[in-house]
Amino acid sequence: MLKVCRRLTPVAAVVLAMASPSAQRDDTHGRDAVPDYERVFNQDSVGRLEIRMASSDWEAVVADMDSMAGRFGGAGGFGMPQPGPGGGGQFPTPSTEAIAACGGRTEGDACSFGTPAVSGRCVQTGNASPLTCVGLPAGGGPGGNPGGGANPGGGFGGNNGQRDDVELLPRTPIYVPVDLTFDGETFHHVGFRLKGNSSLVSTWQRGAEKVPFRLNIDALEERYPEVVNQTFFGFQNLGFSNNILDSSYLRAKVVTDLMRESGLPAPRTAFMRVYLDRGAGLTYLGLYTMIEIPDEPMLDTAFGSSAGNLYKPHGTGGRWTVFVADDFPKRTNDADQDWTDVEDAIAALNDPTSDREVWRRRLEARVDVGVFLRWLALNTLVGNNDAYGGLSAHNYYLYGSPRHRDRLFWIPWDHDLAIPSATGGLGGGGPVGGGGGGQTAALDLFHTRIGADWPLIRRLLDDPVYRATYRGYLEELLNSVLEPARVNADVRAEYDRIVPYVVGASGEAPERSFAGTAAQFEAAAVGPAGVAATLQSRTTAARAALSSTR
């Protein structure tokens, strides 16, 4: 025994010394951290996020934006109309010329209006508002879609997976390093940049410090090698919406939650109080809606694997009439240069339907049709026009799930303009919401006004089997997640949760707030024409429309 031990001891001692668990592992910051949804996306309380940034970095952010969009607070400096009364009295009022310039176009299309002509892009600037031509100094980002959405070859400046979709700005705002503190943990050198298009432009124009932003936790790892592969409790990317276009602050969260509750692969959301220190102490910026950016944690959770292709479509290709590779920028596997899944799916969708069974079988092998129809049903019921079939061909992701034979799944995105209400905006709206502008009497539940330029809707709803499935989803949703008492309770609960952080002593400073007065905020959320009431009236109208439609 002694001899055996003597032979083993040197090896054992060295190995024991070297094989101790690595100090690099970290369950909150490390790349192997399990996404902590309960902690980050806590639904029972409103979290507090502190951001600390050097004043010089904030100045760099301002200089960068000034160079693209004009002076901070320079209202109208890039063609935007002046703020005027709207929901909560906060939304800019577009001119009739600017609205007319976007007639028949979709979001992101190039446009011009006025004399002398101002060039810009069509953008939805408020809840339930029509598309408005928003002018920019350089006419917006490169590579526009000059002939409108139906023009082939349109795009938004090529395949740049990091850009926002409707390129009002000529380039992506810069990243600057910030330190984050959340729930007792601090994260250093996190990448912070402004994000958004109409929301960012509107905020910038007004000079409101409550800017929409995005955190990319390891974006600056080359500059700060010590944060290589850093995550925020397992998350790499988080978006923070300032809700400038929604004076109730509820739409993005309530509707996205409805999507998830109805079984759709939608991102998580949570309200977050954001404090910013630019060298002079913490200031309460305001209440934000934090949104999970679809990437590894979400894909792993929803689909069991994040190894598939994730796309953020836009432009002509985003309509699915023809395949345009540039209109399907990849957010994963971007080096592979492989779009065969999308190409196959679009081809299958547009195949002849002479043998419907074969057509359906081929399509269902490539696209999860059930998920799309379920999304379409819910999106219609909540009246979200800023979506496929409405005013934009870009507010969705597609994921080719390896665990589902590479079938493409529809991931809904961006719901802050849903639930069109009188207090929320300016009326109007496109067809996908089944009638917008708070007009619920003429709900077009089956999208009879949508043509062949939105083939995912037209071709699917022209098929009797899919039409019946879609109808079934409408009925199911109306009797489940959209059941009136439940919706009212949910909206009320969310309102009660956030109201102390929006208005009142602990609320937002008026110069940063988009909610208006306490009365206006309450009216927008739970008033007779607020989110809850509007949703309820829409579901009531939908039930009536459903009973009168076969």
Partner 1 sequence: MTGLTSFRARAAWPLPLLLLLAVSRPVAAQSTQEESARQTPVFEVAPRGYVQFDWRGYPEWPIEPGGGRLQFDTFEIRRARIGVDGRWRRLSFEVAVDPQDVDDDTVLKDAYGQFRFSRALRLRVGQFKLPGGREYLTSARTIDFVERSAQSSSADAGRDVGGMLNGEIGKRFEYQVGLFAGDGRGRASRAGVTTAGRLTWAPVKDLEIGTSSSVGRTSAHDSDPANGLDGRMPSGYRFFDRLYVQGRRQRFGIDATFTPGAWTIAAEGLRTSDQRLEQGLDFEDLPSVVATGWSAAANHRFGRRRGGARVRAREIDLGLRFDWLSFDDSAAATGRDSVRLRATDVRQRSAGTLTAGVSWQPTRWGRILGNASLERYGDARSAPEPGKSGPYITLATRFQIELP
- Cα distances from 339 to residues 78, 444, 549, in angstroms, run 37, 34, 39
Residue with tokens 């496929």: 388
Vertex 518, ends 517 and 523: CA angle to 5°?
A: 95
Q: Candidates 132, 216, 247, 309: give the one binding partner 1 (CB under 8 A).
A: 309
> Under the criterion CB under 8 A, does residue 12 sit at the interface with partner 1?
yes
44 binds partner 1 (CB under 8 A): no
Answer for the pair 166, 107: CB distance below 8 angstroms, yes or no: yes
Q: Select the residue interacting with partner 1 from 50, 57, 300, 406 (CB under 8 A).
A: 406
Using the rule CB under 8 A, is 505 a contact of partner 1?
no
Shortest approach of partner 1 to residue 336 CB, angstroms? 5
Nearer to partner 1, 66 or 300 (CB): 300
* Cα–Cα dist 420/438, whole Å: 5
Give the DSSP per-residue string, 64-123: HHHHHH-STT-TTTTSPPPB-SSGGG-SB---HHHHHTTTT--TT-EEEETTTTEEEEEE
Q: Does 21 bind partner 1 (CB under 8 A)?
A: yes
Q: Which is nearer to partner 1, 231 or 392 (CB)?
A: 231
Q: Which residues pair with 367 in a beta bridge?
A: 408
- Give ∠ CA 339-213-337 in degrees, rounded to 5: 15
The three-class DSSP label of residue 378 is helix
Nearer CB in complex with partner 1: 337/354: 337
Instruction: Show contacts with partner 1 in window 210-249 (CB under 8 A).
Output: 228-229
Q: Which of 44, 45, 281, 405 binds partner 1 (CB under 8 A)?
A: 405
Site for partner 1 contains 402 (CB under 8 A): yes
**Interface with partner 1, residue 279, by CB under 8 A:** no
**With contacts defined by CB under 8 A, how many residues of the chain interact with partner 1?**
46
Closer residue to partner 1 in complex, CB, 21/281: 21
- Are 403 and 304 spatial neighbours (Cβ–Cβ below 8 Å)? yes
- 25 sits near partner 1 (criterion: CB under 8 A): yes
- List the one residue from 42, 160, 301, 333 that touches partner 1 (CB under 8 A): 333
**Of the candidates 18, 441, 485, 505, which one interacts with partner 1 according to CB under 8 A?**
18
35 in contact with partner 1 (CB under 8 A) = no
The residue type of 465 is: V
Nearest Cα neighbor of 244 from 180, 201, 273, 294 is 201
* Interface with partner 1, residue 14, by CB under 8 A: yes
Stretch that binds partner 1, among 120-128, 138-146, 306-314, 431-439 (CB under 8 A): 306-314
Q: Pull the structure tokens for residue 517.
A: 């007065």
Select the span of 40-48, 112-120, 361-369, 521-529 touching partner 1 (CB under 8 A).
361-369
> Smallest Cα–Cα separation from 159: which of 31, 395, 355, 339?
339
For residue 512, which amino acid is it? R
Closest approach of Cβ 266 to partner 1, in Å?
21
By CB under 8 A, the residues from 334 to 353 that bind partner 1 are 335-338, 340-341, 343-344
5 contributes a contact to partner 1 by CB under 8 A? yes
User: Which residues are 47's β-sheet partners?
Assistant: 272
Query: Which residue of 26, 31, 74, 263 would you call a contact of partner 1, by CB under 8 A?
Result: 31
Residue 31 CB contacts under 8 Å (≥ 6 apart), including other chains: 229, 230, 231
Comparing CB distances to partner 1, the nearer of 14 and 518 is 14
Q: What is the distance between the alpha carbons of residues 478 and 242, in angstroms, rounded to a whole number?
A: 30
Amino acid at 118: V
Q: Is 307 in the site for partner 1 (CB under 8 A)?
A: yes
Task: Name residues whose C-beta falls within 8 Å of residue 21's C-beta, 6 or more positions apart in sequence.
Answer: none
Q: Does 304 bind partner 1 (CB under 8 A)?
A: yes
From the CB of 458, what's the least distance to partner 1, in Å?
Answer: 23
Q: Which listed range, 13-21, 100-108, 193-201, 456-464, lies at the site for partner 1 (CB under 8 A)?
A: 13-21
Residue type (1 letter), 108: G
**Alpha-carbon dihedral of residues 534, 291, 247, 313, nearest 10 degrees?**
-70
Binding site for partner 1 (CB under 8 A): 1, 3-5, 7-8, 10-12, 14-16, 18-21, 25, 31-32, 228-229, 304-305, 307-309, 333, 335-338, 340-341, 343-344, 361-362, 365-366, 400, 402-407
